[in-house]
Amino acid sequence: MSKKKILITGATGFIGSHLTELCVKKGFKVSAFDRYNPQYNLNCLNDSKYKKDINFIFGDIRDYDSVYKASKGMDIILHLAALIGIPYSYYSPMAYIKTNIEGTYNILEATKNLNIKQLIVTSTSETYGTAQKVPISENHRLIGQSPYSASKISADQLAISYWTSFQLPVKIIRPFNTYGPRQSNRAVIPTIINQALKNKNISLGNIKTTRDYTYVSDICEAYLEIIKTKNIFGQPINVGSNNEFKIEQIARKIIKKINPNLKIMIDKKRIRPEKSEVDRLKCDNRLIIKKTNWKPKIKFDEGLEKTIKWIRNNQKYFHNINDYRV
């Protein structure tokens, strides 16, 4: 029996790199699509022991021709390529429109025109905005509180329209906050850990917001479970832990593990515009648990220990620990 061919966009990023390696280990024939760069930098997969087992394809998700060529002959596409990072979306909204909306359109069109058997589009819990009711189910209203979240809402709705209009076999995975090794300082947990390792104080923005965190290996397992599940086409499916922590709680956990003498300082430059701040996110994960065999396995504190260990041992990847506005 021949191996199923799978294309992963955004494969060299944080989640994408872990998912790419998992797919190799599970026996898929993996092609990794990522943005062309003249140095052929593989980002999070630079040091992967699975590099020789991966077919790397460089292109641009915004260019239909390169997406179409990369998609030829594939059985499954996992679409993770996106511009992330909410602060940058305030400065360059059009970049998010071109990458997140037009890029998703290109993947949908290629899937349709090549009769690919299955496409999974990656969403985000930011599409819900501040929780009106917790836990947040897939029926919660959507609101674009930032250009980033607006672009992801648009991409999700476009994907749903391809299911309803063309019966395109598309599924939408909506992860809540993810953490773990290889995540950059654009995310809150790595920036807290790096500051705790190097600074005398921890500098943060709004520490009262809450988030639902899931360890990266659990998120990757969810993708594989969703691939196997037949009756969830054309709809989003939440992936999260159903636990929430204030940013302050997370910071104090990390401080306790690294240096109990550190203090938390509020930096106003790190605070989002008032109406753009998502104050609360907590995942209702009952649908994925009901429809698949997925359940989160890694407890939050266990995941923190793993993440701290990895960051401590991989400081070469962190050049400027103060480059993110949390």
* pLDDT band per the 50, 70, 90 thresholds, residue 47: very high
The structure's pTM equals 0.96
Tokens of 10: 């955004």
What pLDDT does residue 16 have? Answer: 98
Instruction: Tell me: pLDDT of 322 over 70.
Output: no
* CA proximity to 41, closest of 61, 63, 17: 17
Model pLDDT for residues 174-185, shown as the tens digit of each residue: 999 999 999 999
Would you say residue 326 has pLDDT above 80? no
Q: For residue 89, what pLDDT is reported?
A: 94
Does the pLDDT value for residue 321 go beyond 80? no
Mean pLDDT of 167-178: 98
- And the tokens for 209? 């917001």
Question: Please, what are the domains in the chain?
Answer: 5-178+215-239 (3.40.50.720), 180-211+243-282+299-317 (3.90.25.10)
Task: Select from 209, 220, 206 the least CA-distant residue to 175.
Answer: 220
Q: Provide the H-helix boundaries in 229-285.
A: 247-258
- pLDDT at res. 158: 98
**What pLDDT shows up at residue 2?**
72
* Res 93 pLDDT > 60: yes
Average pLDDT, the chain: 95
Question: What does the alpha-carbon distance between residue 201 and residue 176 come to, in Å, rounded to a whole number?
Answer: 28
pLDDT at 323 over 70: no
Given this model, what pLDDT does residue 318 score?
80
Of all residues in the chain, what percent carry a pLDDT higher than 90?
89
Q: Looking at the predicted structure, is the pLDDT value of residue 50 above 80?
A: yes
Q: What is the pLDDT of residue 229?
A: 96
Tokens of 66: 């390169």
pLDDT of residue 272: 84
Helix/strand/coil percentages in the chain, nearest 5: 45, 20, 40
Q: Which of 276, 285, 234 is nearest to 120 (CA)?
A: 234
pLDDT digits (tens, 9 = 90+) for 121-167: 999 999 999 999 999 999 999 999 999 999 999 999 999 999 999 99
214-247, pLDDT tens digit by residue? 999 999 999 999 999 999 999 999 999 999 999 9
Predicted pLDDT of residue 319? 67
**pLDDT digits 0-9 by tens, 14-44:** 999 999 999 999 999 999 999 988 888 899 9
The strand pair at 213-215 and 177-179 is best described as: parallel
Specify the pLDDT at position 320: 60
Q: What percent of the chain has pLDDT over 70?
A: 97
Q: Residue 213: its pLDDT value, please?
A: 98
Q: Is 68 exposed, middle or buried (0-12, 13-18, 19+ CB in 10 A)?
A: middle
Which among 96, 108, 84 has a CA at the least distance from the CA of 16? 84
pLDDT of residue 324: 45
Check residue 273 and give its pLDDT.
Answer: 87
The Cβ of residue 139 has, within 10 Å, a number of other Cβ atoms equal to: 9
Whether 277 has a pLDDT exceeding 80, the answer reads: yes
Q: Given this model, what pLDDT does residue 186 score?
A: 85
